[in-house]
């Protein structure tokens, strides 16, 4: 199971979402969870702890095409510890 980190506006408030995805087409999961045009990070695993922040500056942008999203996921070389903030 992989981890997708993204921000989502819920009831007018921007929230950091740490979602676990099942095995399968990760590009499709990213499209549905993150939403087209929004930034995200994807990793097979992330360090344990309470996630409180994330730097999305160089994060990929979700595309409408799952094949493109899979290519974006494959191109992620950023280590989670470089962009995730824990409590």
* Structural domain for 11, as ranges: 2-86
With contact defined as beta carbons under 8 Å apart, do 43 and 75 qualify? no
Q: What is the DSSP string of the chain?
A: -EEEEEEEEETTEEEEEEEEE-SS-HHHHHHHHH-TT-BEEEES---SS-EEEE--TT--B--S-HHHHHHHHHT----HHHHEEE-
Cα–Cα dist 57/62, whole Å = 14
Domain count, the chain: 1
Q: What is the pLDDT of residues 58-78, one digit of tens each?
A: 999 999 999 999 999 999 999
Average pLDDT over residues 23-39: 96
Predicted pLDDT of residue 1: 85
Model pTM score: 0.93
């Amino acid at each position: 199971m992989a981890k997708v980190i993204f921000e989502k506006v819920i009831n007018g408030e921007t929230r950091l979402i740490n979602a676990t995805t099942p095995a399968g087409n990760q590009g499709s999961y990213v499209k549905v969870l993150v939403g087209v045009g929004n930034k995200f990070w994807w990793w097979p695993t992330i360090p344990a702890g309470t996630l409180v922040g994330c730097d999305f500056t160089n994060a990929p942008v979700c595309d409408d095409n799952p094949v493109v999203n899979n290519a974006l996921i494959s191109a992620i070389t950023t280590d989670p510890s470089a962009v995730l903030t824990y409590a």
